[in-house]
Amino acid sequence: MIGIPLPVVNVEQKLWLTASKAFVTIPCSSLGGEVQEKMADVEGLTEARQVTVSSSPAPGQFHIKGCAHLDWGMKNRLSRIIKPDTGRTVMLAVDHGYFQGPTSGLEVMEETLAPLIPYADCLMLTRGILRSSVPPGSQVPIVLRVSGGNSILSELSNETWNVSVEDCIRLNVAGMAMSIYVGAPHEHQTLAAFSDLIDAGYDAGIPILAVTAVGRDMVRDARYLALASRMAAEMGANFVKTYYCEDFPRVTGTCPVPIVMAGGKKIPELEALTMAYKAVTEGAVGVDMGRNIFQSDSPVGMIKAVRAVVHYQEKPESALKIYKDEKKSSGINNKKRAVTTSKKK
Ligand code: R5P
């Protein structure tokens, strides 16, 4: 059961997440204990019951969960991202620079992207990188980050919608992505901007990806991630990006639209593959992974291995072999190239 400690001080609302023993602190000067006691709707809050999860639709239905009643354009764009043949997706997240500048592995975007694009089902990036560093002849679908206005030097949640839908149409994107900062200081600002984006997305027929749980102090447990993901879906998100956690089926099972797993910080390859494997077997439709691909010592090996896990249920250990084989062969090819070059001199 979720217990709300009362009375609450005037300067902040504390939502006690009982099971996780974690606090999400929401600064809110206008919400005092007196006001909160009148909020009858929070009194009967009980934990969601355990649910069984399935990312596959019933036979004959549209292949993407929760999207059967969308318009043709929405379905077509979503199908470019989440593939109809497997119902899964490997999105490559390379949007990190929008708030943290040149990120390790993303220093020169053309160099990072060129070898990876053939293996990505979709790229998630900013319009600056799309225009400057992705060949327009490329057929890879784009999920464009349309939020920003923050930086690693300040409060991360101080973010807003910053790309027009007109520009998204001009860029022929398949989806638009925005972060929502549930439980952070600028929660309301990001949720309000998100609502406006959802309206604009439906007007244009462009699906919206909600990015949840980004932030320095976010408690990334099932209760918080289920809260943020479900809120995003309730507000109209067509798919949701969130982190893997213990009891992940609670997150995927209570979200009516597909979930893609964010990779998080770089971890050893086998661990990242295991996390992706668990995520898709526990209800995610795929990954939207960045650092665990482009910061690997073999980015191509890693994305190939992730594809095997996500699309073909390869076990992490055998997927690791795909990564190792690719690393070995590219090492040999690099050596050959070096020899050829030095002979030419
Ligand atoms: C974060 O705001 C960005 O959307 C990243 O794309 C996201 O964190 C996924 O990348 P990674 O797998 O590196 O965590």
Question: How far, in Å, is the centroid of ligand 1 from the Cα of 96?
Answer: 6
Nearest in space to 182 (alpha carbons), one of 206, 154, 201, 210? 210
φ, ψ for residue 156 (rounded to 5)?
-65, -35
Kindly report, residue by residue over 92-140, the tens digit of the pLDDT: 999 999 999 999 999 999 999 999 999 999 999 999 999 999 999 999 9
Domain boundaries, the chain: 1-45, 72-327
pLDDT for the residue numbered 47: 75
Question: How far, in Å, is the centroid of ligand 1 from the Cα of 330?
Answer: 26
pLDDT for the residue numbered 26: 38
Cis check for the bond before 7: say yes or no (omega within 30 of 0).
yes
Measured from the Cα of 95, ligand 1's closest atom is: 6
Measured from the Cα of 211, ligand 1's closest atom is: 4
pTM of the model: 0.84
Direct distance between the N- and C-terminal alpha carbons of the chain, in angstroms, rounded to an integer: 73
Question: How far, in Å, is the centroid of ligand 1 from the Cα of 310?
Answer: 18
CA 183 to chain centre: 18
pLDDT for the residue numbered 11: 32
Instruction: Please provide the CATH number assigned to the domain covering 72-327.
Output: 3.20.20.70
pLDDT for the residue numbered 8: 33
Which residue CA neighbors atom 3 of ligand 1 most closely? 96
Q: Are 76 and 175 in contact (CB under 8 A)?
A: no
pLDDT for the residue numbered 43: 63
* Mean pLDDT by groups of 10 residues along the chain of 345 residues: 34 38 37 43 69 66 92 97 97 97 96 98 98 97 97 94 98 98 95 98 98 77 95 98 97 97 96 98 98 98 98 98 96 62 50
pLDDT for the residue numbered 34: 40
Give per-residue burial for 229-245: e unless 16+ CB within 10 Å, then b: bbbbbeebbbbbbbbbb
Tokens of 338: 């070096």
Cβ count near 30 (within 10 Å): 7
pLDDT for the residue numbered 331: 80
pLDDT for the residue numbered 7: 32
Question: How far, in Å, is the centroid of ligand 1 from the Cα of 290?
Answer: 6
Rounded CA separation 72/333 (Å): 45
Measured from the Cα of 289, ligand 1's closest atom is: 12
Kindly report, residue by residue over 309-328, the tens digit of the pLDDT: 999 999 999 999 999 999 99
Rounded CA separation 106/231 (Å): 32
Report residues whose beta carbon is within 6 angstroms of any ligand 1 atom. Answer: 93, 95-96, 124, 179, 211, 214, 262-264, 288-292
pLDDT for the residue numbered 99: 95
Helices 299-312 and 269-281: crossing angle in degrees, nearest 10, is: 20
Active-site pick, 241, 266, 336, 344: 241
φ, ψ for residue 60 (rounded to 5)?
85, -10
Helices 222-235 and 187-204: crossing angle in degrees, nearest 10, is: 40
Does 83 qualify as catalytic in the annotation? no
Cβ count near 118 (within 10 Å): 12
